[in-house]
Amino acid sequence: MTLLSFDVVKRYRGFLLNCRAAFDSGITAVFGRSGSGKTTLLNCLAGLRTPDSGLIEFNGETLYSSSPQRNAPPERRRFGYVFQDAALFPHLDVLGNILYGYKLTPKEHRRLDPDRLIALLQLSGLLRRSVADLSGGERQRVAIARALAVSPRMLLLDEPLASLDAAFKGLIIRYLKSIRAELGTPMIYVSHSMSEALALTDNVLVLSDGAAAAYGPTGSVLVHPAVGALADYGSLENLLEATVTHVDAPHGLATLRLGGVDLFAPGVTAAPGSTVTVSIRAGDIILALDVPARISARNVVAGTVEEVHARGARVIVYVDVGVRVVVEITPLAKESLGIEPRQRVYLIIKSSSVGVLEPDRR
Amino acid sequence: MSTADISILLLTLRVGLVATAMNLPLALAVSWLLVKKRVRGGTLIDVLVSMPLAVPPVTVGFLLLLALGREGPLGRLLGMDIVFTWVAAAAAAAIVSFPLVVRAAMVAMAGVDERLEMSARSLGAGPLRVFFTVTVPLAYRGILAGLLLGFVRALSEFGATITVAGNIPGKTQTLPLAIYTSIQVRDDFRAGALVGVSIALAAATLLAHNWLLRRAPRESG
């Protein structure tokens, strides 16, 4: 069901945004390179910028319309907005930031309790801290809690991971996933990273030069021609959630449970039982049709091919191993192995290719 | 100091404080319009509010005399004659010091990250609430510094004051006017003492002003 539909024209500093689309609930990524109009679009949806003309409708309610003239101010739209660098209020402490919007939310709209958000985003130890003393990851968590505390009808996130270290990205991705699972808040996630979009989102809108170039389910939009020019497939990675089951200190290897399979990864500092985000580059995974014998790679995982997309010099394969994994192979490899949907395959992953995105626990 | 001198000092402080108090809401409103609302005709307003800084204070005094007089537009509005009272002195001091207050407030408000205000809007705060819960708290050092600078300017106001409020001992004779009178009557000793008081007042205010500005503005989140 359509949740948000818009048709927006906005000239901004010599740039023209002219974009129409309709989003379902769930998480939608707005993907494009910097300067493609992603943030301008998000600001128009939030009411922080006024379009030159067009229409924005949320759940049947007109938020903006150029004729007849209608423009709901941002404070009436009840959309949570998370800025790229958090934009926390420096004159308030962490709790003050979280409660700023909550206090302004009429009682009948309050669905999310601040205590629940504080627990969900694990902020209870930070509440009296000054926001100047927070790490990048902590700032982003506070910003997300602050936006959710108004019980928003939708959460708009503008590249929330862009200014974070890899270690914190994994953490924030997990928090966003738990928000999706527990609160069900629809989200628009602006990003220029296909890996993040793949890890988090259901659908993707591709923006190119201010116009919608493609829209659809994340997996298939990734290989859309419009994305081919924008995406850096070489850095495409799987960002997956895993549980540490065992740490073999002498060999420096940890066992991670991911979907239904075990993976070995080096250099894990997280304790057994904790949840981590794992990163595996799509190009670092080898596909085999038989169980390979006597090889050095520690991870051999059985799976079923779901989709095969050939795009120029690249073939993107989605394999279900209990979770969905994206693998990149060459057209030649696809041809000689005859990779097709529903085929039984084995993924070969060197343990050194399994990166654990986790901040050091001290 | 004689009791007369103390009453001169008190009158001067009263004129300065009232002038500053009149300037605060006006300066907040004008800088909000110019910096945050970016209203049309902003340049014109900017020139107009800065004008008292550029013209001789006696000009301000003359125009104020016309406006506040019994036949003047403001005089008729008030229904009374405040010319040659301490209120007129406060009004003169307010107008002459206003540019200093408003310019400092504008600089301070321009330094507040727009995204913080946008965040507040998306969190449910209307423009007025954003102004008082985000903009002003984050700009208060600069605003306060501007008020102090305006206050110290109001204390030293002479040209506009003598034109519109006169130089009436015990009524409108502020510190600068008393110094002027002392020099006129060649009472150098008294003039010197009053000059000392004047310098001490200015030094204290300027020190506070610099202390406010030297404290690093907090990092924006």
How far is Cα A161 from Cα A38, in angstroms, rounded to an integer?
Answer: 15
What pLDDT shows up at residue A358?
77
Domains and CATH numbers, chain A: 4-231 (3.40.50.300), 237-356 (2.40.50.100)
- Mean pLDDT for the stretch of residues A141-164: 93
pLDDT (tens digit per residue) in A70-82:
999 999 999 999 9
Q: Which amino acid is at A234?
A: G
CB contacts, 8 Å: B137 with chain A: 91
Higher pLDDT, B221 or A227: A227
B220 inside domain: no
Q: Do B124 and A90 touch (CB under 8 A)?
A: no
pLDDT bin (cut points 50, 70, 90) of residue A257 is very high
By residue range, what is the domain housing residue B59?
3-214
- Residue B216 reports pLDDT greater than 60: no
Which residues, in sequence order, are CB contacts of B216 under 8 Å at separation 6+? none
Residue type, A130: S
Contact A88 B221 (CB under 8 A): yes
Helix, strand, coil proportions of chain A in percent (round to 5)?
Answer: 25, 40, 35
Longest Cα–Cα distance of chain A, Å, equals 71
Q: Residue B221: pLDDT above 50?
A: no
Query: Given this model, what pLDDT does residue A157 score?
Result: 96
Would you state the structure tokens that stand for residue B38, as one six-digit string?
């970016």
Region A145-172: what's the mean pLDDT?
A: 90
Least confident of A112-126, A192-206, B87-101, B205-219: B205-219
Please report, rounded to a whole number, the percentage of residues in chain A having pLDDT higher than 90.
Answer: 61
A124-143 residues touching B, CB cutoff 8 A: 131-132, 139
Residue B102 lies in a domain: yes
Residue A79: closest CA among chain B residues belongs to which residue?
B122
Residue B221 lies in a domain: no
Q: Are A17 and A37 in contact (CB under 8 A)?
A: yes
pLDDT for position B75: 77
With 50 as the cut, is the pLDDT of residue A191 above it?
A: yes
Distance, in Å, from the CA atom of B221 to the CA atom of B219, rounded to the nearest integer, reads 6
| Per-residue confidence (pLDDT) for residue A298, from 0 to 100 | 86
Q: CA of A232, closest CA in chain B: separation in Å?
A: 30
pLDDT in tens, B71-116: 788 877 777 778 899 999 999 999 999 999 999 999 999 999 999 9
Residue B59 touches partner A, C-beta closer than 8 Å: no
Task: Specify if B219 maps to a domain.
Answer: no
pLDDT tens-digit profile of A26-38? Answer: 999 999 888 889 9
What integer pLDDT is reported at residue A361 of this predicted model?
52
B132 located within any domain: yes
The model's pLDDT over A267-324, given as tens digits with 9 standing for 90+, comes to 888 888 888 888 999 999 999 999 988 888 889 999 999 999 887 788 889 999 989 9
Average pLDDT, chain A: 90
Supply the pLDDT for residue A219. 83
- What pLDDT score does A360 carry? 62
Q: Do B118 and A47 touch (CB under 8 A)?
A: no
Is residue A247 a contact partner of residue A272, using CB atoms and an 8 Å limit? yes
The span from the CA of B185 to the CA of A348, in Å, is: 103
Sequence-distant (6+) residues with CB within 8 A of B193 are B1, B5
| pLDDT-based confidence at residue B217 (cuts at 50, 70, 90) | low
pLDDT at residue number B219:
40
B47 within domain boundaries: yes
Assign A248 a pLDDT band (cuts: 50, 70, 90): confident
pLDDT tier at A362, thresholds 50, 70, 90: very low
**CA–CA dist A319, A287 (Å, integer):** 10
> CB-hemisphere CA count at 13 Å for A140?
23
User: Is B97 a domain residue?
Assistant: yes
* CB-based contact B119 A87, cutoff 8 Å: yes
Q: What is the arithmetic mean of pLDDT over A230-255?
A: 84
Q: Give which of A40, A98, A103, A104 to mutate to test B binding, by max B Cβ within 10 Å.
A: A104
**CATH code of the domain covering residue B68:** 1.10.3720.10
Is the peptide bond prior to A68 cis by the omega test (within 30 degrees of 0)? Answer: yes
Domain count, chain B: 1
Whether the CB of A86 is below 8 Å from some CB of chain B: the reply is yes
Mean of pLDDT values over A226-243:
80
Q: Which of A6, A28, A1 shows the shortest CA–CA distance to A180?
A: A28
Residue B176 pLDDT > 90, yes or no? Answer: yes
pLDDT at B37: 87
**How far is B165 from B65, CA to CA, in rounded Å?**
9
SS3 A203: strand
The rounded distance, in Å, linking the Cα atoms of B106 and B116 is 17
Q: At what angle do helices A136-148 and A94-104 cross, to 10 degrees?
A: 20
The answer to whether residue B218 scores a pLDDT higher than 60 is no
Residue B27 lies in a domain: yes
pLDDT band at residue A224, thresholds of 50, 70 and 90?
Answer: confident
Q: Residue A142's pLDDT band (boundaries 50, 70, 90)?
A: very high
CB under 8 Å to A125, separation ≥6 — which residues? Answer: none
Say if the Cβ atoms of A100 and B120 lie within 8 Å: yes
Which one, of B221, B128, B121, B112, lies nearest residue A80 by Cα?
B121
Give pLDDT tens digits for A334-349.
999 999 999 999 999 9
Instruction: For residue A140, count other CB atoms closer than 10 A to its CB.
Output: 30
**What's the CA gap between A71 and A73, in Å, rounded?**
6
